[in-house]
Structure 1
């Protein structure tokens, strides 16, 4: 009886753990409206916002994404402390109130930082390949 209970408990915890992971499809479905809104506000293509966020955060499954809403690995000016698996973690990464705020900050970086700002003047939000090449050329991350 104890073995059966243990097996059921382990199986349930494995199912719950796997159910909590975002897939590329679930990440897109969950955040596409935010990315489209950012695109209309800033001109940065929604596909670029989502693509870079998915790459940097492992579709929102990274510790930074889970604990700090930081989808892009953006560093901050302050020292942040958060708890992960009951252990205190010290980090210099930026904390955001929401994923949308993280998307906004990424778009700000793309439109205001000197190395990227020319792209927003030269490229439209339809030119996702131009944005991708520009980001790669100018050394994001």
Structure 2
């Protein structure tokens, strides 16, 4: 059974989905990967409640790491990319090439970029910390403006 809640934030509404095993997804309103069926609206579900609290703390600048059970569904390759994303420290960013290197497949930059873009757990699995080789902000499923705001939040040292 899946459950969801919606967190109101300065970045707009954030939909959070979980199962009893853990967090399944965090999406902004414009995400195209938001599932058609979210499950039951249950903000008091322990995983959803913890996620909402931790996201609020993160967005206020008081939380730099998340401690939530993750249960995202993806291929073995996507899961490996998402695991590496979680190792990028708060306030730092890397290029897609560096991400491919860390995944152990330096020639798979495009595949890594695709897996990064399919990350269902925004912010907690910090795909926003991956930028273009030239330092430019490239696409972000939540919108490049939000990506910039997340990176600015982290660089402010709050």
Tell me which interval the TM-score lies in, with the shorter structure as reference length: under 0.3
Which protein is richer in helix relative to its size? 1
Q: Rg larger in 1 or in 2?
A: 1
TM-score by length of 2: 0.24
TM-score by length of 1: 0.27
